[in-house]
Amino acid sequence: MRIRRRVRGEQRIETAAWTVLVENGVRIRRWSQSGEGYAYVTGGARMIDAPRPRSAGAFAVLCHEVAHHALGHTVHAEPVDPRRELDEEWAAWEFTFACFARFGLAVPASVTREIAASMAERLAAALEEGLEPVPARFQPFQAAARALLVAPRF
């Protein structure tokens, strides 16, 4: 049996994560091994799948998924149009940055890069669905999104 010690920073992140979950009435259904997260409602309960909050990156994913509930993104039953979906993703990442600031946590460059990649992927999907012109706040992600559209898919 391996006993794992928590480092001080990890404890801060975990405490912050549980605070965010409790304050927003969100429960964990499953700890994700892949680092990805999902927010959904099942049986009236606000649930997420997210990685264990042991690093800044995992905390960012967890906060992002909680944001979808906190901001009301999981209440629509109807399909969401590409522009609205982009706006919701942007708002969820803003919520995430606010969580980092609230708990006095630094946002590592690796997290910023992951967020930029996530927004580029979302913008690429919106462009495929016909979003034009690209709204001003998403233009920093436009070159990466267009590159994704021309890249070969496997």
Whole-number pLDDT of residue 19:
98
pLDDT at 4: 52
Residue recorded with tokens 């016909």? 130
Q: Which of 80, 88, 69 is nearest to 26 (CA)?
A: 69
| 39 pLDDT tier (thresholds 50, 70, 90) | very high
pLDDT digits (tens, 9 = 90+) for 70-124: 999 998 877 778 899 999 999 999 999 999 999 999 999 999 999 999 999 999 9
Asked if residue 40 lies in contact with residue 74, where contact means CB atoms within 8 angstroms, the answer is yes
Q: Is the pLDDT of residue 144 over 70?
A: yes
| pLDDT value at residue 74 | 92
Rounded to an integer, the average pLDDT of 28-44 is 93
Instruction: Report yes or no: 71 and 98 within 8 Å, Cβ to Cβ.
Output: no
Contact assessment for residue 53 and residue 17, using Cβ atoms and an 8 Å cutoff: yes
- 152 burial class (0-12, 13-18, 19+ CB within 10 angstroms)? exposed
The string of DSSP codes covering 68-136 is: HHHTTTT---SPPPHHHHHHHHHHHHHHHHHHHHHTT----HHHHHHHHHHHHHHHHHHHHTT--SPPG
Whether the per-residue pLDDT at 46 is higher than 80: the answer is: yes
Task: Kindly tell me if the per-residue pLDDT of 8 is higher than 70.
Answer: no
**pLDDT surpassing 90 at residue 27:** yes
- Lowest-pLDDT range of 57-66, 73-82, 127-136: 73-82
Q: What's the pTM? A: 0.89
Query: Could you tell me if 20 and 64 are in contact, meaning their C-beta atoms sit under 8 angstroms apart?
Result: no
pLDDT of residue 91: 97
Task: State yes or no: pLDDT of 154 exceeds 90.
Answer: no
